Amino acid sequence: MKVDIEELKKEKKANFKERLDFIDRYVEWIKATPNKVWSKQYKDFIDSSFQKK
C-alpha cells in the first residue's frame, strides 16, 4: 500500500479547517443560547455519564 503524502497533507488541512469551523459554530451557539439552557444540557449530559447501569 503506497501512502500519498500530498493526499495526507490535504486531509490534515481539511480536518483542521473543519475543527476550527466547529469551534466557531459552537461559540456562536453558546453566545446565542441562554445560560440556563446550555448549562442544563451539560448537567444532563454529565449526570448521564455517572448513572448506574
Average pLDDT for residues 28-46, to the nearest whole number? 90
pLDDT tens for residues 5-34?
999 999 999 999 999 999 999 999 889 999
Inter-CA distances, 50 with 41, 45, 53, Å: 15, 9, 9
CA distance 8 to 39: 38
2/5: higher pLDDT:
5
Number of domains in the chain: 1
User: pTM score, two decimals?
Assistant: 0.62
CA distance 16 to 22: 10
52/25: higher pLDDT:
25
For residue 52, name the pLDDT band (cuts at 50, 70, 90): low
Structural domain harbouring 20: 5-50
The grid cell for 33 is 443560547
SS3 annotation, 20-38: HHHHHHHHHHHHHCCHHHH
